[in-house]
Amino acid sequence: MPRKYKRKTDRVSTPLEELERAVKEVQQGKTIRQVGKEMKICRMTIKRYMDKKKIGEVTKPGYERTAVSKRVFNENMEKELADHIKTLAAMFHGIGVMKCRELAFEFAQRNSIDMPASWTRDEKAGPDWFNAFKARYHLACRVPEATSLGRATAFNKHNVGEFFDNLSKVMDRYSFPPHMMYNMDETGVTTVQTPKQVVTEKGKKQVGSVTSAERGELVTVACAVNATGNAVPPMFIFPRVRFKDSQKGV
């Protein structure tokens, strides 16, 4: 189970606006200790903030995060890796979790980057790194839908543009009303139901459930809905039966 850090103290909880107001109070003649008691802020927090403001602009309170400095990749390299993973998924050739971790290890090895010893031992990035990387770049693990090569290659800019050009020409010529424009899609339904989980004796090797058959046939269901929200009854397309020539006269 990947680790997830939980805060154990309320340090660095003072808003930046409160610290700015405290600094103005000190600049008006009050002591840091006095302002800290009035505003219920630790005096050392105010002092550290004032010291940082003398050096340069402060965008956030508290110490600099050590996790950023200890990252294996810098921000540009992580973004390049995340963009590559997203591009592979967009091209219908997405990679799994283990392959992503192996890719990160190879990326670090090719660029001669210092990495944890566990990366070198396992020849892949660690699960904690991957979960943090996934959260930083809005990645998620999804089960892909099976897509044929013909559909994947046909869906491109040229074909989609040609389809909408033809659609606009037909609409300009005939001016179909909304109730005459239907969108149809099909799905597959099996004739055998998948049994649900049941409660049985622990340690039993085989558990069965009665169904109409062990292997059913796939029936195609086509549904159509028009632009006004009306639908036609679903159409069931059953698999055809192939008859032999000797059976035609029977």
- Is residue 185 included in any domain, yes or no? yes
Same domain (yes/no): 33, 87 = no
42, 83: one domain? no
Can you give the pLDDT at residue 78?
Answer: 92
**What pLDDT score does 18 carry?**
87
> What is the rounded CA–CA span in Å between residue 123 and residue 115?
11
Domain match, 95 and 114 both: yes
Q: Is residue 57 part of a domain?
A: yes
Query: Which domain covers residue 22, as residue numbers?
Result: 16-63
- Six-digit token pair at 168? 């606009």
- DSSP designation for 82: H
Last residue of a domain, one of 45, 63, 81: 63
58 and 79 housed in the same domain: no
pLDDT in the model for residue 221: 92
What integer pLDDT is reported at residue 10 of this predicted model?
A: 67
Same domain, 97 and 52: no
Please check whether residue 102 lies inside any domain of the structure.
yes
Structure tokens at 82: 């995340």
Total domains, the chain: 3
pLDDT by 10-residue block (mean), the chain, 250 residues:
68 79 88 89 85 75 60 89 92 90 94 91 92 90 85 86 93 90 89 76 76 76 92 88 62
Residue 97 neighbours by CB under 8 Å, 6+ apart? 130, 141
Q: Is residue 49 part of a domain?
A: yes
**248 located within any domain:** no
Whether residues 86 and 126 share a domain: the answer is: yes
Last residue of a domain, one of 36, 63, 90: 63
Q: Model pTM?
A: 0.56
Predicted local distance difference test score (pLDDT) of residue 249: 54
How many angstroms separate the CA atoms of 188 and 237, rounded?
Answer: 10
Provide the pLDDT for residue 69: 61
Asked whether residue 43 is domain-assigned, the answer is yes
